[in-house]
Amino acid sequence: MEPFLKLYFAKKNCLIKKENETETELYFITSGTVRLFFEKEANDINVNIAFPISFTSSYTSFLTQKPSTFNFQALTNIESIKINKKDLETIYNVTSSGKN
């Protein structure tokens, strides 16, 4: 699994993914805090805040590979481990944990 995992760092306020972009990565947060939000009438509406030792992503977009309705932003400097959807599917296909 190691060759599929990549370290990812983002600075505070970095917009990791923007609304209408397709999410291709799943993140495991090791340090820092991120949020998923959308804008409505010039206000930010938070729908999820992720802290260390948790997985996060715009899950619906990740699973369907359709554009996300959310923005994904670092609230602090973050460190994470990420894997892209194609690599995750490869792991599912070649390991027993991916079988029914």
pLDDT of 29-38, one tens digit each?
A: 999 999 999 9
17-25 average pLDDT score: 96
What is the count of structural domains for the chain?
1
Domain contains 90: no
Domain contains 96: no
In sequence order, what DSSP letters do the residues of the chain get, joined into one string? -GGG-EEEEE-TT-EEE-TTSBP-EEEEEEES-EEEEEEETTEEEEEEEE-SSEEES-HHHHHH-SB-SSEEEESS-EEEEEEEHHHHHHHHHHSGGG--
Domain contains 31: yes
Q: What is the CATH number for 59? A: 2.60.120.10
pLDDT at site 23: 96
Domain contains 72: yes
Domain contains 44: yes
Residue 98 has pLDDT above 70, yes or no: no
pLDDT digits (tens, 9 = 90+) for 58-93: 999 999 999 999 999 999 999 999 999 999 999 888
Domain contains 94: no
Q: Which domain holds residue 37?
A: 2-84
Residue 42 has pLDDT above 80, yes or no: yes
